[in-house]
A and B are shown apart, each in its own frame.
Chain A
Amino acid sequence: MTAEAEKPNIITSSLDFLVNWGRTNSLWPFPYGTACCAIEFMSTEVGRYDLSRIGSEYVRFTPRQSDVLLVAGTITYKQAPILKRIYEQMAEPRWVIAMGACACSGGFYDCYCTVPGIDHIIPVDVYIGGCPSRPEAFFDAMFDLQKKIKDESYMKQRADRVKEQLEMIKAKTAEAKACAKDFAHEKVEELKDFVMEKEQNLVKKAQFWKE
């Protein structure tokens, strides 16, 4: 792959702009609320704070239809596989917000039953502090996430995606080359031996006839 294919051009950049604009302004959250942070999220969602102003119009209670996994509350070890499974069920452009101290770090539950931060299970994009976080903090997190999404680029992702393949191809080529070299060496040595034998035979024959 040449360097030209990695660079963004006018088509991909305008496509990026369009796609990112769409994604930024229609972030549908999936509330995984297990504690009081979920109550704060409810107040963020309804009338007074009104999350739908920034495009999070619907709260989807199915992972198939949502973009943002909002983990609001304490995650215990019994919950952990369920959370992981829900994350895996979400469709690909997906982001995770860890809301509140418990989801970020386990909070004050420093004990046998609480996961010390959901980043032990799933990748997290934005952390919000607070116990529980205020709706303003949640808005701030959503703006941060929007900024992050606006920076996303198709070509960058593609380069990242193709990088592995390219490295794999390079490694395989090097391997094949090394293999061929070894083979050639062996062949050359075989030929050398063959020629030496012939020469020795000829010398012997010549000596025999001389005698």
Chain B
Amino acid sequence: MKTAEEIFTALEEMFGAKRETLDRWGVTAVVSAGYLHNAVEFLKGTAGVELNMLVDVAGIDYLTYPNYEGPRFAVSYSFKSTVNPGLRFRLKVLVSEANLKVPTISDLYANANWYEREVFDQFGIVFEGHPDLRRLLNHVEFVGHPLRKDYPAQKRQWLSTNDYLLPALEKRLETLGYRIVERSKEVGTNDNEFLEGSIKE
């Protein structure tokens, strides 16, 4: 089993990771977006490290952060190991406002799928290669990204339609080998009627 410091030196050698000075209690490695996928693969697969649990993916907006210079956004990944007890590690990717792109890690960790959707929803950071990058928490008609510091916190946006999930559900059932024999009357959508069909085929 390696300690977090050893993992950091390994990352420093392989991917040119830098130590995050703001993190006073643990070890946080800042890697560039290009090396992120490889770094995560290294953390997950290497013997002695085996950080096989993704605890959280969080977006950060440094717009109003005091005495900070650098790119505006960051995405922070927290990892934990279930094989090596007590081993935790954090990765951080800095994202500039001009290029809001980070490679996805949802092919390595299945739960990263929803975490990345949440970060996309709240901060507008685009995860390249994500299978289904839609909003997770806010509704479909929401404009803007509410956890950005320049979003007015009390700006409210009404949703005019109901989530109509049946077409998506039917599609998924059909991919699993089911066949739709008949639909009940209520299922058909009527565009003129209020409160119907936010997801359309």
Q: Which A residues are closer than 8 A to B by beta carbons?
A: 77-78, 80-82, 84-85, 110-113, 116
By the criterion CB–CB under 8 Å, are B138 and A81 in contact? no
CA distance A78 to B156 in the complex (A): 12
Contacts of B151 in A (CB 8 A): 112
Please give the distance in Å from A91's CB to the nearest CB on chain B.
17
Number of inter-chain CB pairs below 8 Å: 39
Instruction: Given A84-B195, A85-B162, A113-B146, answer yes or no on A77-B153 (Cβ-Cβ < 8 Å).
Output: no
Instruction: Given A77-B139, A84-B195, A85-B195, answer yes or no on A112-B158 (Cβ-Cβ < 8 Å).
Output: no
Q: Is the interface of B mostly helix, strand, loop or mixed?
A: loop
Contacts of A82 in B (CB 8 A): 162-163
Q: Is the interface of A mostly helix, strand, loop or mixed?
A: loop
B88-128 residues at the A interface, CB under 8 angstroms: none
By the criterion CB–CB under 8 Å, are B162 and A110 in contact? no
CA distance A116 to B153 in the complex (A): 14
CA distance A60 to B90 in the complex (A): 48
Please give the distance in Å from A35's CB to the nearest CB on chain B.
16
Instruction: Given A84-B195, A85-B195, answer yes or no on A78-B139 (Cβ-Cβ < 8 Å).
Output: yes
Contact of A81 among B137, B142, B162 (CB under 8 A): B162
Contact of B159 among A80, A112, A116 (CB under 8 A): A80
By the criterion CB–CB under 8 Å, are A81 and B159 in contact? yes
Please give the distance in Å from B47's CB to the nearest CB on chain A.
44
Contacts of B154 in A (CB 8 A): 110-112
